[in-house]
Structure 1
Amino acid sequence: MPRRRAVCEPGAVTTAQREDPFLENRRLLFGTAYRMLGSVADAEDVLQDAWLKWAEADRSGVLNPRAYLVRTVTNLSLNKLTSARARRESYVGTWLPEPLLTAPDVAEDAELAESVSLAMLVVLETLSPLERAVFVLREVFGYSNAELAETLGKSEAAVRQLAHRAKAHVQERRPRFETGAAERRAVTERFLAACGSGEASKVMELLAPEVVSWSDGGGVVRAALRPIQGSDRVARWALGVLAKPELRDATAAFCWINGEEGVLFTAPDGSLVGALAVEVLDGVVHTMRCMINPAKLDGLRRSEPFRF
């Protein structure tokens, strides 16, 4: 079934949007759903369903439209997350979040960039659906326990327990790569150049000994089914991937992916064939995430980068 047209495309806010609470808050609503689901397509589906509910709702008793809409999106996301988890259990190979092309100003806000980074979305995937909802609404949007209790239909005591577990879990696994954008760009450029040389030794010089590479092909495009660890194995894998026909002649271009610098690979015919995100520390690559499942690249084909 074809995807429905997104209702969350970025752009200038019109008079009609300011008069409609749903359109006025669409970026907030998409940001909530995307952080909850780690999927651009699923987040757009949630917004479509939320818009239909909003259009049909009796708004005479809605005192706070923004809170009402966030609650609607959160509950729809919880329902979709439950079914999505079942699908991911049978997913072929490594599952990675769907990347999203973001505006450069997202990266200028460190907390905002971290909250939508691929690394953080991977961590959030390990939470239970309710823990994820509590963490996103509390830590990202500043909801109080009372507001969360009302939104989720739970007691404040239950919310406090969920918040404590979620925060402790995320803190334990939160990525701690604080390398500046300029250094990340320089290291990534050197890494791509080393791969282009075809010499494994040059590639290994830019990889941490414990480097881990994750690939998401979804069974549609050939990819490593499990994470690859160690500089020697990752170097050989990288050289093999870049030697494939679909990537050998592709053009690599830097862009902002989920608030961080990343690389898009475009085939000679103009089609997008993959995206690469790296985490850099002390001048070398520590983590690589390669997204090549065509069905999960729609968020990188947007006419305009998304602004949260």
Structure 2
Amino acid sequence: MLRENTNDLLAFMAVARERSFTRAAAKLGVSRSALSHTIRNLEERLGLRLLARTTRSVGLTEAGARLLDTIAPRFDEIEAELVAMSSLRTRPAGSIRITATEHPTYTILWPRVSELLRQYPDIKIEIVVDYGLRDIVAERFDAGVRVGESIARDMIVVPISPALRSAVVCSPAYVARHGVPATPQDLTTHACINMRLPTHDTIFEWEFEKQGRSLNMRVDGPAVVNTLALRLNAALDGVGLAYMPEDYAMPHIEAGRLVRVLEDWCDPYPGYHLFYPSRRQMTPAFALLVEALRYRA
């Protein structure tokens, strides 16, 4: 596609996001008829229908949705980098609100955020630890953190960690008393430390995967907790088996304080990602945060 057609793609993005030719035309500062002509020419050049038009609404065809998913992040990244350049001319300041679960908050967010706050005293960052799948737009968060497989498609997504693995662990004393499970199904005969998700008030199912086979297990045991630290302490104290992120347990596994079981059932899964609305106009402060968190292999 020729370089001069970039404006046509931007016009398509505006209509696709606004779901209205009238609103998109107003946003772009062009007439509705001119915008309609631009989209029609783009569709003719591609030989594909991108938008489904009715008298009341404008929607995306399958081809249109695929095109939007492909080009929108790239244009948004270019725009974000241009905005980030302004940080060279202005002093980054302002407040940023982020929601994340406990593990990435302590292992990724806070170490990098604390450094950012030391460098830029005019930036304020609020982190809300939460296990719910919050609507960050409706609840006025600037960004959220989730594993990559659970993020809505209309968000800008930035990787902030490598792939992750879970670990099932227990103390050597527990192994001496009860032995170890050979399969996830064996957990039904073991004492397990459950976790109640604070937001949804539900017990977390232990998730396993081996060679493409997925399995979710409901387990039972003498303790139910709602923080990662308590899960670890309960395992160290010999209360039972605990399910947790591998990196959180690894220092204790290497030191011999914990024994790992069912390792062959804990395949890697997509790592943590920062996500935020695609239409967000990035401030210098937010641009700095994104770059501070971005994972680089």
Q: Specify the TM-score bucket, using the shorter chain as the normaliser.
A: under 0.3
Larger Rg: 2
Higher strand share: 2
TM-score by length of 2: 0.24
Higher helix share: 1
TM-score by length of 1: 0.23
